[in-house]
Structure 1
């Protein structure tokens, strides 16, 4: 019998969240015989940095760059990005394409190689209405010339948009742990598109969350059409937090993609 190959999964959380959001999925992947790395992005989770210390999206992504730099030259990882984490993935794909076997976008923002990195977020906000964000708080921070805005999901938004199919105790956990972050729109709009040679050379997979009220399935499908991916899977009965509402199903999807 062929020996099962051990994979190395690197899991990247979304906006306002932290490494804590993977607490159900991480042990499932480990139990299947794989190594799993979870971590906090800058000013997220228990990372000691303050959001006021950040100015750019790469500064926010720095902990992911450090993880990628620690990967041995002969090893490749399965990189998984959730929600805004898809843009963190894109920066890592541009910087370390040779270290990634497949990049998995889980209900994530997925840029292309034609437009500026801000384009996918601009499209998202153009299709949303202010009412969609409920009690989410947007506030300026940093120097006025940097045009920085923070975002913090409110309790109502978390319960009815991110976690509507998740256990109530996980909603309570999220409400107590979320931290403000930023999309760094001004910085992303000043950057060149990701390259076909680097970002575009990495195998891409997308997992659609069929009951998503944060990034609607129709927008996820638009991203897939806009950017193109090798593998598309759909979790029909998952909310935006698939790692919380359907961890066992998500684990199986990731194992199938990793093969």
Structure 2
């Protein structure tokens, strides 16, 4: 009789347990998968260094992503001579960091670095998951920065050229209006204190891209709506001329959204 009671108990519990198993299985199937974490390579633009990403990097890392930042030659704390700070060396520097990674990366370029990430994508397209242009130059084949008209930019009128015209600084009174007009006082102070002479060879380097390489890498653009560096009008023109931008995002900031609105910027990058 004890054996029969035991069997009855098992039978009584079998149906509810089976139903519970079905419910749990259904819940598992419906539960959304966690978004895969990414490797971001963030490339700063002219007249700044890797410190440009100091506020954005920890926000991306907080979400589990890997974030790689560095100084381009002759920028930030890098002491490369100005004469060696060429577009080719920029591209080699960025490519070297990317090639150390086992998989593909999301490559982000700000301002002048739009030209840099363009050439990197042409060189190693199989290593780039996405290209992200942050208020950056998005060139067509044969274009170069100084050859792209931007009448609404404050860069041109405020350049102070070296005697041989191989490098330039920005007039002191224009540094904050261009780089930090909508930023905190500590950022305004920093951009003035850390301003360095900028090599101009990369501004004259022509983009050399093909549809077979650069053309097949997915591109995203983040427009900055109060930009007087790379003006908002020029940003829109470049996006329209490219014709292959997957999606355009906007941030209501000046030229340096990584200083002014890092949380919003990190949110956009993390959504890609």
CA distance in 2, matches of 1:85, 1:178: 17
The runs of 4+ residues in structure 1 deviating greater than 4 Å are 131-135
1:122 to 147, 164, 168: 147
Q: Aligned with 1:14: secondary structure?
A: coil
1:254 aligned to 2:262?
no
The number of equivalent residue pairs is 240
- CA gap of 1:140–1:177, structure 2 versus 1, over 3 A, is same
CA distance in 1, matches of 2:74, 2:92: 11
CA distance in 1, matches of 2:233, 2:123: 30
- CA gap of 1:117–1:132, structure 2 versus 1, over 3 A, is closer
TM-score, length of structure 1 as denominator length: 0.86
Q: Is the 8 A contact 2:222 2:250 kept in 1?
A: yes
1:137 aligned to 2:160?
yes
Alignment of 1:1-259 (within 5 A): 1=31, 2-54=33-85, 56-72=86-102, 75-112=103-140, 115-118=141-144, 120-125=145-150, 127=151, 133=156, 135-141=158-164, 149-184=166-201, 188-189=205-206, 193-228=208-243, 229-235=245-251, 237-256=252-271, 258=272
TM superposition shift of 1:155: 3.0
- CA gap of 1:47–1:225, structure 2 versus 1, over 3 A, is same
Structure 1 gaps, min length 5: 142-147
Q: Is the 8 A contact 2:109 2:134 kept in 1?
A: yes
* Cα RMSD after superposing both structures: 2.0
Q: Aligned with 1:195: secondary structure?
A: coil
CA distance in 1, matches of 2:236, 2:254: 15
Q: Is the 8 A contact 1:10 1:37 kept in 2?
A: yes
CA distance in 2, matches of 1:132, 1:61: 23
Q: Aligned with 1:233: secondary structure?
A: strand
- CA gap of 1:171–1:123, structure 2 versus 1, over 3 A, is same
Q: Aligned with 1:11: secondary structure?
A: strand
After superposition, the C-alpha distances for 1:28-77 in whole angstroms (9 at most, x for unaligned) are 101111110000111111112110334x31123332121122122xx111
CA distance in 2, matches of 1:154, 1:194: 34
Q: Aligned with 1:45: secondary structure?
A: coil
Q: Which has the larger radius of gyration?
A: 2
TM superposition shift of 1:255: 1.2
CA distance in 2, matches of 1:132, 1:16: 11
TM superposition shift of 1:177: 1.4
- CA gap of 1:251–1:103, structure 2 versus 1, over 3 A, is same
TM-score, length of structure 2 as denominator length: 0.82
* Larger RCO, structure (CA 8 Å, separation 6 or more): 1
